[in-house]
Amino acid sequence: MAILGIDEVGRGPLAGPLVVGAVILPEEKPEWVFSLRDSKKLSMKKREELSAIILAEVPAYGFGWVFPEELDSVGISEALRLATRRAVEEVQKRKVAFLQIVIDGKVNFLSGTSLAQFVSTAVKADDLIKEVSAASIIAKVARDNYMKEVAGKFPGYGFEKNMGYGTAVHLKAICEIGVCAEHRKSFEPIKSMVGFDRNGDGMVNVVKNTTLIGGRGETAVCEYLSRLGHKVVARNFKTKFYEIDVVSIFEGKIYFTEVKTRTSRDFGGGLAAVDAAKIKRMRFAAESFLKYQKQYVAFDPVLAVADVDGNYEVLNWFPII
């Protein structure tokens, strides 16, 4: 009785795709089958050797890929279902019969399909059932190779070593250089940095990291700019080296607004603090933001300042560069 083994790789990383492998092993088991086990328990060299053999010798295999943008759109649970179904569809194209499907874990990701009745789930199946071990190995090697490839396209994150997982080096890079297209915007801490909202407009709103006065001042400016027709796309955007109070888009331009909220003790208003040094820092922040938020590169950047009074009313807002 042929078994279709299924396992996923990449459920938890901050970057890169989710990959599901699906494998049917030969009926007469060759010697190498007995070397199969959970991919995490094998060295990288051994995984690569076994993956090459599996892809060359098994009667059927398939991969299911879900990349970060789609994963962010549908969520991790649906991404797991999509990737599993895509992997099985690839196997079915090879016209190899199977009578049982074993999925590693506790969830039947084929529920709701005509194949659901043939599915068994088992915790640690990737180490106990050879077909699932094989699926684990080919998925791991395929995903690792992909991450090594994109490491050259997006240097600095160490993708070739951390494979997108949240290591100290990776997290430090995110703080220093921002996020890239391979990052999962719906995963923390990236979600808070870019303000991902699956059901909203994507505005960053990290008031918990601001003072009460500053946060209320930014809220007033966001409301003010919205009334002018701006779309606010980021708020209180912070990295280790810079922060931006409000980012908005209007008529082909992207505005980086510094919010100055005055109190009764302020002399000359909050705008008095916007000197040449501050403008230089604002320019650096805007350039850094656009360097890594590629979706906004087509907009002309403009620096702006907002003056908010003690009652949290916007007294003035104007571009400075």
- Could you tell me if 8 and 18 are in contact, meaning their C-beta atoms sit under 8 angstroms apart? yes
The two tokens of residue 223 are 């409301």
179: in domain: no
164: in domain: no
Residue-wise pLDDT for 98-112, tens only, equals 999 999 999 999 999
Residues 11 and 132 in one domain: yes
Higher pLDDT, 292 or 145: 145
193: in domain: no
132: in domain: yes
pLDDT score for 198: 62
pLDDT score for 271: 55
249: in domain: yes
Torsions phi, psi of 227, nearest 5? -65, -30
Choose the final residue of a domain: 119, 153, 187.
Answer: 153
* Mean pLDDT along residues 50-64: 98
25: in domain: yes
CATH number where 243 lies: 3.40.1350.10
* Mean pLDDT along residues 144-170: 95
49-61 burial, b if ≥16 CB within 10 A, otherwise e?
A: bbbebbeeebbbb
Q: Is 70 exceeded by the pLDDT of residue 305?
A: yes
For residue 142, the one-letter residue type is A
29: in domain: yes
Residue-wise pLDDT for 230-272, tens only, equals 988 888 787 767 888 899 999 999 999 999 887 544 444 455 5
Residue-wise pLDDT for 117-149, tens only, equals 999 999 999 999 999 999 999 999 999 999 999
* Number of domains into which the chain is organized: 2
73: in domain: yes
pLDDT score for 77: 96
Choose the final residue of a domain: 113, 133, 153.
Answer: 153
Q: Is the pTM of this model over 0.75?
A: no
Residues 225 and 141 in one domain: no
Look up the domain containing 15 and give its range. Answer: 3-153
